[in-house]
Amino acid sequence: MPATDLDTIVSLAKRRGFVYPSAEIYGGFANTYDYGPLGVELKRNIRSEWWKAMVQERDDVVGVDAALISNPRVWVASGHVANFTDPLVDCRTCKLRFRMDHIEEGQYEEIQRQEDGSYRCPRGKCDFTEPREFNMMFKTQVGPVANEESVAFLPPETAQGIFINFENVLNSTRKKLPFGIAQTRVSFRNEITPGKFIFRTLEFEQMEMEYFCLPGTDRELHRYWIDERMRWYIDRVGISPERLREREHTADELSHYSAGTSDIEYLFPWGWGELEGVANRTDFDLKAHAAESGHELTYYDEDSGQHVVPYVIEPAAGLTRTVAVAMLEAYTEEPDEKGDNRIVLKFKPAIAPIKVAVLPLSKKPDLQGASKRVSDLLRPHYMTQYDETQSIGRRYRRQDEIGTPLCVTIDFETLEDDAVTIRERDTQEQIRVPIANVVDAVRDKLGF
Ligand code: ATP
């Protein structure tokens, strides 16, 4: 069973060093989190599983890493300067700001609709302004003079860094359609909705791929990518299929560039929520950048002998949102060997922050020496944690709680037979292997 409430994960995340509220010593900062020693590994591993599936294991997708701050005309062409807005209302009494669409959807428990159609918050005196469109891009200034011309934007998505490099990639790789360009990067949005942990933050990481194809093949490829991405969450992140669903956008929900979008949603403790959007962006972006830059962004199709503007299918996933889902999904409470409750994060080994823990039974120097030898053998291959504090039972619990698939224990017998015990996280089964074979045995169990 996954975690049934978010607080359980929020407190485990902080206690064990996955995710901390940012700038906590200064009272925190709304919708902002820092990743700790284990969170940084989990995030890195999920990103790497995405890159493997989307780039490394395919012949038709290549990667880029575009600058974060770039020419502001990019965001004029993409439509973000004009359209990347949320309707906001301010309460003149509480001085708080809310998203009108979220008020109407009933997302703020404290704001209820009145009989006359108006809305009131618990203080009872909500005096809302008319909704006004609020652009969610962060602005900054570039260069020595601060004026309108020096304004630049922090990117709210990674896609535009791909579109502006379409021609460069085409020329340098000679790829034929269909082909994709992938990128993982941080994005920024001035979100005002009170966040649910790392589900919605001001700064977050995305994993996006733009798949360029001939017009007319887009519908079939849209379907293909929805299925591929669904499979990735199940096979690579370990999400149970019954907590994943596909939801097609209604006509009034569609973005200005989209001819069809399906969200991949996860059943969060508070209900279904988006994990990834898979959109058919048509030829909107390449045409928009061609018009703004005066640069022809086309592809020469040898079969038809014509220059065409490719269509684009975009699977756009949230890396940091997937980190939250991986933790929620892996969380398990079950009896241990003695029948006591144990908490286990049942991560797939590939995404587990620590792959193997090395645990000497005691702090005796002889055991420490042997344990150091075992660590030295494992470290070049796997993220390894050495832990000699507290009882062995407590150390197993600690490794279970951070999702370490294997523990290697060094005991007094080791000094005689030069062998160690490997314990599996999920089955709690133990096998004995010679130290000389420890790397092979771990590889055998992890599968990589
Ligand atoms: P939402 O409706 O939840 O605001 P969106 O439809 O605006 O999301 P997209 O623009 O499609 O999101 O971005 C693709 C993915 O990026 C989302 O599915 C989500 O996983 C992630 N994402 C978007 N905004 C945030 C955020 N503020 N914090 C964390 N992840 C985000």
3 or 152, greater pLDDT:
152
**Tens digits of per-residue pLDDT, 129-149?**
888 888 999 999 998 888 888
Q: How far is the CA of 307 from the centre of ligand 1 (A)?
A: 34
Q: Please confirm whether the linkage preceding 178 is cis (ω < 30° from 0).
A: yes
CATH superfamily of 6-79+137-327: Bira Bifunctional Protein; Domain 2 (3.30.930.10)
Q: Band the pLDDT of 124: cuts 50, 70, 90.
A: low
Choice from 19, 162, 204 to test ligand 1 binding pocket (greatest atom count within 8 A of CB) = 204
Quick check: helix, strand or coil at residue 420? strand
Asked if residue 187 has its Cβ within 6 Å of ligand 1, the reply is: no
User: In this predicted structure, what is the pLDDT of residue 265?
Assistant: 98
Q: Which atom of ligand 1 is found nearest the CA of 273?
A: 3
Q: Band the pLDDT of 125: cuts 50, 70, 90.
A: low
Q: How far is the CA of 390 from the centre of ligand 1 (A)?
A: 42
Residue nearest to atom 29 of ligand 1 (CA): 200
Please determine, for residue 13, whether its predicted confidence score (pLDDT) is greater than 80: yes
Report the alpha-carbon distance of residue 413 to residue 420 in Å, rounded: 8
Across-strand partners of 128? 91
3-state percent breakdown (helix, strand, coil) of the chain, nearest 5: 35, 30, 35
Q: How far is the CA of 156 from the centre of ligand 1 (A)?
A: 10
* Predicted model pTM: 0.93
Q: How far is the CA of 342 from the centre of ligand 1 (A)?
A: 34
Report the alpha-carbon distance of residue 446 to residue 315 in Å, rounded: 29
Asked if residue 276 has its Cβ within 6 Å of ligand 1, the reply is: yes
9 or 3, greater pLDDT:
9
In terms of Cα–Cα distance, which of 174, 178, 164, 172 is closest to 297?
Answer: 164
Asked if residue 206 has its Cβ within 6 Å of ligand 1, the reply is: yes
Chain centroid to CA 77: how far? 27
Q: How far is the CA of 362 from the centre of ligand 1 (A)?
A: 48
Residue nearest to atom 26 of ligand 1 (CA): 200
Q: Band the pLDDT of 119: cuts 50, 70, 90.
A: confident
Q: How far is the CA of 303 from the centre of ligand 1 (A)?
A: 38
End-to-end CA distance of the chain: 26
User: In this predicted structure, what is the pLDDT of residue 146?
Assistant: 82
Asked if residue 200 has its Cβ within 6 Å of ligand 1, the reply is: yes
User: In this predicted structure, what is the pLDDT of residue 1?
Assistant: 67
User: In this predicted structure, what is the pLDDT of residue 106?
Assistant: 77
Which region among 224-233, 252-261, 418-427 has the lowest average model confidence (pLDDT)? Answer: 252-261
Q: How far is the CA of 97 from the centre of ligand 1 (A)?
A: 20
Q: How far is the CA of 275 from the centre of ligand 1 (A)?
A: 7
Residue nearest to atom 28 of ligand 1 (CA): 200
User: In this predicted structure, what is the pLDDT of residue 130?
Assistant: 85
**Tens digits of per-residue pLDDT, 327-385?**
999 999 998 878 889 999 999 999 999 999 999 999 999 999 999 999 999 999 999 99
Q: Which atom of ligand 1 is found nearest the CA of 199?
A: 29
Place of tokens 């011309």: 149
Q: How far is CA 322 from CA 238, 331, 369, 416, 438, in A?
A: 11, 14, 40, 46, 32
Percent of all residues in the chain with a pLDDT value above 70, rounded to a whole number = 98
Asked if residue 204 has its Cβ within 6 Å of ligand 1, the reply is: yes
User: In this predicted structure, what is the pLDDT of residue 167?
Assistant: 96
User: In this predicted structure, what is the pLDDT of residue 327?
Assistant: 98
Place of tokens 């962004």: 297
Which residues are within 8 A (CB) of 345 and not within 5 positions of it... i.e. 6 or more apart? 12, 327, 330, 331, 332, 352, 400, 401, 402, 403
Please determine, for residue 280, whether its predicted confidence score (pLDDT) is greater than 80: yes
In terms of Cα–Cα distance, which of 347, 344, 367 is closest to 355?
Answer: 347
150 or 179, greater pLDDT:
179
Residue nearest to atom 4 of ligand 1 (CA): 200
Report the alpha-carbon distance of residue 231 to residue 182 in Å, rounded: 18
Asked if residue 229 has its Cβ within 6 Å of ligand 1, the reply is: no
Q: Band the pLDDT of 115: cuts 50, 70, 90.
A: confident
Using the CB atoms, write b or e for 420-433: b if 16+ within 10 Å.
bbbbebeeeeeeeb
Q: Band the pLDDT of 259: cuts 50, 70, 90.
A: confident
**For the residues 117-123, what does the mean pLDDT come to?**
73
Q: Which atom of ligand 1 is found nearest the CA of 201?
A: 28
Residue nearest to atom 13 of ligand 1 (CA): 316
Domain boundaries, the chain: 6-79+137-327, 85-135, 354-446
| Arithmetic mean of pLDDT over the chain | 94
**Tens digits of per-residue pLDDT, 34-74?**
999 999 999 999 999 999 999 999 999 999 999 999 999 99
**For the residues 422-426, what does the mean pLDDT come to?**
97
Asked if residue 321 has its Cβ within 6 Å of ligand 1, the reply is: yes
Please determine, for residue 321, whether its predicted confidence score (pLDDT) is greater than 90: yes
Please determine, for residue 423, whether its predicted confidence score (pLDDT) is greater than 70: yes
Please determine, for residue 122, whether its predicted confidence score (pLDDT) is greater than 80: no
Burial class for 373, CB neighbours closer than 10 Å (0-12, 13-18, 19+) = middle
User: In this predicted structure, what is the pLDDT of residue 92?
Assistant: 81
Residue nearest to atom 16 of ligand 1 (CA): 318
Residue nearest to atom 8 of ligand 1 (CA): 274
**Tens digits of per-residue pLDDT, 184-236?**
999 999 988 767 899 999 999 999 999 999 999 999 999 999 999 999 999 99
User: Do 109 and 98 touch, CB atoms closer than 8 A?
Assistant: no
Using the CB atoms, write b or e for 199-224: b if 16+ within 10 Å.
bbbbbbbbbbbbbbbbeeebeebbee
CA atoms within 13 A on the CB side of 253: 10
Choice from 102, 162, 200 to test ligand 1 binding pocket (greatest atom count within 8 A of CB) = 200
Choice from 244, 248, 255, 321 to test ligand 1 binding pocket (greatest atom count within 8 A of CB) = 321
**For the residues 297-311, what does the mean pLDDT come to?**
96
Asked if residue 166 has its Cβ within 6 Å of ligand 1, the reply is: no
Residue type, 388: E
Fold for domain 354-446? Rossmann fold (3.40.50)
Residue nearest to atom 19 of ligand 1 (CA): 318
